[in-house]
Amino acid sequence: MKKTSTRLADGRELIYYDLRDDTVRDAVDRRPLERTVTTSEVRRDVLLGDSVAIASHRQGRTYHPPADECPLCPSRGDRLSEIPGPSYDVVVFENRFPSLAGDSGRCEVVCFTSDHNASFADLSEQQARLVLDAWTDRTAELSHVPSVDQVFCFENRGAEIGVTLGHPHGQIYAYPFTTPRTALMLRSLAAHKEATGGENLFDAVLERELAGERVVLEGEHWAAFVPYAAHWPYEVHLYPKRRVPDLLGLGDEARTEFPQVYLELLRRFDRIFGETEPPTPYIAAWHQAPFGTLEEFDGVTRDDFALHLELFTIRRTSGKLKFLAGSESGMNVFINDVPPERAAERLREVASS
């Protein structure tokens, strides 16, 4: 992997990740952009104990542009975009309309391929490995930023999810706090550790699932399963079999196998509802241990946390979406219409030949 860092016309950082070591990246951003001004602010909800990002500047962000005006495609001729080069393998850059900025964190865009009409599932194993390496590199770099407490790499796909740019891409949020979902996991981890005299809850969950009926696919170093209490109609958790706290902890063998397992998982998601259905909308979210202090979670260290990816779709059956209604949105109590055992069975049925 070759890494080349440069600056866009408004001062934002852009990084090329290339498969070939001899690739030259010297294109200059020719757009007449003024320096980016953001108004991001993080406010604490004292009743719920969580935080909300207030970012009014995002009201003016690019919204469903036509394909020939996509800002994530490479720049070619007079057609100028966020990526100055005429092509790329993987590129990461600071979001022009970030939810978090400055002391409130950082937001980055990750473009998986220069092919506008592709998706992550269309990548080769070599390309998918390059994305994994980019995620890992950005996690490492952002972990050294003093204001950053947690790094979150994720992909939203599909207009139904709320994606406003159709180009295959994901994002990285660097939060200045430990996110509420991670805090819940850490509290459960601490309570289980104390109640069992030291047993790791993530290890116990993975062992239970591997012995059960909800396994979707399994490799030598990775395992994918539908969780016992799945919140979403089709939800899969992907774990490395050797517990590590973050992407930095993955060994070479796990990194090599990841593209094989993950690409197959994504391709099965696209086959759940049949070939006549449009591509399955999904969210793919990496959960990593925070880099800040864990003092409030008694007895828990970063090494107790288990890196894993959660993949889910809001489509519950052909032509029907799972909307968050009163119970889910109002009280955070999910109601799942698809039994997890049936979801796992379906994801095994659509295995590629």
Active site residue 169: yes
Q: Where are the alpha helices (DSSP H) in 89-179?
A: 125-143
Determine contact, residues 58/36, Cβ cutoff 8 Å: no
Q: In the structure encoding, which two tokens stand for residue 89, read together?
A: 């393998």
CA dist., res. 121 & res. 295, Å (int) = 40
Give me the phi and psi of 11, to 5 degrees please: 95, -5
CB atoms within 10 A of CB 190: 18
Determine contact, residues 291/303, Cβ cutoff 8 Å: no
Residue 109 burial by Cβ neighbours in a 10 Å radius (0-12, 13-18, 19+)? buried
Dihedral over Cα of 180, 61, 133, 7: its sign: negative
Nearest to 95 by CA among 129, 131, 138, 66: 138
The DSSP result for 3-44, as a single string, is EEEEE-TTS-EEEEEESSTT--------S-PPPP----EEEE
Distance of CA 227 to the CA centre of its chain: 18
What is Dmax (Cα atoms) for the chain? Answer: 65
Catalytic residue among 169, 192, 221, 308: 169
Q: Position of tokens 């949020």?
A: 173
Determine contact, residues 171/94, Cβ cutoff 8 Å: no
The DSSP result for 174-189, as a single string, is EESS--HHHHHHHHHH
Counting every residue, how long is the chain? 353
So which residues are the catalytic ones? 169
